[in-house]
């Protein structure tokens, strides 16, 4: 009768031991992954070791060639060896660069052009090898970029980089990459204010009548940075430092910049005296009409 209780106690003890081991394994700390700095150091160590091995092999090879140079020279002088391609490779080791520079025969052909004689010399092998390399490069470039379209062309790469750069710039009112959606002002008061602001701030470069001086003529249909009101607004607000156009943000309010932009569009086709020649691309923006 005591056999069953003993078996039960043994099973319970075994279960407790098993559970304890499992709990100990679960609670055991997991080794953290190696940090990135350690991996980088290991990579540089392996690269350094590889470079050292390559340098040692090159040094041993150079020492061996120098030691065996007399024997290699005698082998190279054999008629059956010297004319072969492998013999020319051997010639590089003994100081004869015929494989690279070719043989200069200096044989004059039976051609005479105003006292200028033509020599019958082949193109230098290094030049021909370089030309063959450009052909292989062109085939690889064509296949990679145009046939398989695996790589980005310059235009696509530029667009992708500009898109990534735009993500780093906050898309708020001071974002030069975010075009506004304003409509041109047409009220007489706004256009009058825009004229006053233009004469005060913009006339020194663009003329009192926007005919153009240092800056371009703003009364024709040609625009360097866009003739729609939001493009004109952007040009005035952020300026074009590379062309000498200053940024007016911080000096004029947003409404004032829109008033100036709308006033400029109202001058389209006014043809003032002494107007500067057209610059930029031809556009036909909507001309605001004052609401009296």
Q: What is the pLDDT of residue 1?
A: 45
3-state class of 68 per DSSP?
Answer: coil
Q: What is the pLDDT of residue 207?
A: 92
Residue 184 DSSP class: P
**Do 95 and 124 sit in the same domain of this protein?**
no
**Do 194 and 234 sit in the same domain of this protein?**
yes
Q: How many domains does the chain have?
A: 3
Q: Which domain holds residue 125?
A: 108-147
**Do 216 and 253 sit in the same domain of this protein?**
yes
Closest CA to 228 of 203, 264, 176: 264
**How far is CA 199 from its chain centroid?**
42
**Do 85 and 138 sit in the same domain of this protein?**
no
**How far is CA 196 from its chain centroid?**
45
Q: What is the pLDDT of residue 46?
A: 93
Instruction: Tell me whether residue 44 is in a domain.
Output: no
Domain boundary among 92, 117, 147: 147
Instruction: Tell me whether residue 35 is in a domain.
Output: no
**Do 138 and 211 sit in the same domain of this protein?**
no
Instruction: Tell me whether residue 37 is in a domain.
Output: no
Instruction: Tell me whether residue 10 is in a domain.
Output: no
**Do 141 and 227 sit in the same domain of this protein?**
no
- How are beta strands 222-223 and 116-119 bridged, if at all? unpaired
Q: What is the pLDDT of residue 181?
A: 87
Closest CA to 266 of 205, 193, 200, 180: 193
Q: What is the pLDDT of residue 5?
A: 54
For residue 212, the domain's CATH number is: 1.10.760.10
**Do 70 and 126 sit in the same domain of this protein?**
no
**Do 78 and 122 sit in the same domain of this protein?**
no
**Do 249 and 210 sit in the same domain of this protein?**
yes
Instruction: Tell me whether residue 248 is in a domain.
Output: yes
- Positions in the chain short of pLDDT 50: 1-4, 7, 21-22, 24-28, 290-292
245: β partners:
240
Residue 230 contacts residue 254 (beta carbons within 8 Å): no
The dihedral of CA 165, 167, 170, 175: what is its sign? positive
- Concatenating the DSSP letter of every residue in 210-260 gives S--SSSPPSSSSEESS--SHHHHHHHHHH-BGGGTBPP-BTTB-HHHHHHH
Instruction: Tell me whether residue 264 is in a domain.
Output: yes
**Do 237 and 219 sit in the same domain of this protein?**
yes
Q: What is the pLDDT of residue 143?
A: 92
**Do 258 and 274 sit in the same domain of this protein?**
yes
List helix spans (H) across 33-187.
36-67, 69-76, 79-82, 85-94, 98-101, 125-141, 154-167
CA atoms of 238 and 229, how far apart (whole Å):
14
**Do 212 and 128 sit in the same domain of this protein?**
no
Instruction: Tell me whether residue 5 is in a domain.
Output: no
Domain boundary among 147, 162, 178: 147
Which phi-psi region, left, alpha or beta, contains residue 122 (left: φ > 0; alpha: ψ -120 to 50)? Answer: beta
């Amino acid at each position: 009768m005591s056999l069953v209780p003993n078996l039960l106690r043994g099973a319970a003890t075994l279960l407790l031991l098993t559970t304890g081991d499992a709990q100990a394994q679960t609670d055991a700390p997991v080794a953290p992954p190696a940090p990135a700095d350690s991996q980088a150091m290991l990579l540089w160590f392996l690269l350094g070791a590889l470079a050292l091995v390559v340098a040692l092999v090159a040094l041993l090879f150079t020492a061996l060639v120098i030691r065996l140079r007399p024997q290699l020279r005698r082998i190279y002088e054999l008629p059956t060896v010297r004319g072969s391609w492998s013999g020319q490779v051997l010639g590089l080791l003994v100081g004869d660069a015929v494989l690279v520079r070719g043989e200069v025969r200096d044989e004059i052909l039976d051609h005479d052009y105003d006292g200028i004689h033509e020599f019958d010399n082949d193109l230098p092998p290094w030049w021909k090898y370089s030309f063959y390399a450009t052909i292989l490069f062109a085939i690889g470039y064509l296949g990679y970029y145009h046939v398989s379209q695996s790589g980005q062309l310059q235009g696509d790469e530029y667009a992708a980089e500009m898109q990534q750069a735009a993500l780093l710039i906050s898309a708020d009112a001071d974002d030069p990459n975010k075009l506004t959606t304003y409509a041109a002002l047409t009220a007489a008061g706004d256009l009058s204010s825009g004229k006053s602001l233009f004469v005060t701030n913009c006339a020194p470069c663009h003329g009192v009548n926007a005919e153009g001086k240092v800056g371009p003529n703003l009364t024709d249909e040609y625009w360097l940075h866009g003739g729609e009101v939001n493009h004109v607004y952007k040009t005035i607000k952020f300026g074009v430092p590379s062309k000498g156009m200053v940024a007016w943000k911080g000096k004029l309010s947003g409404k004032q910049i829109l008033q100036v932009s709308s006033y400029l569009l109202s001058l389209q086709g006014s043809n003032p005296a002494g107007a500067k020649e057209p610059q930029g691309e031809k556009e036909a923006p909507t001309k605001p009409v004052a609401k009296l």
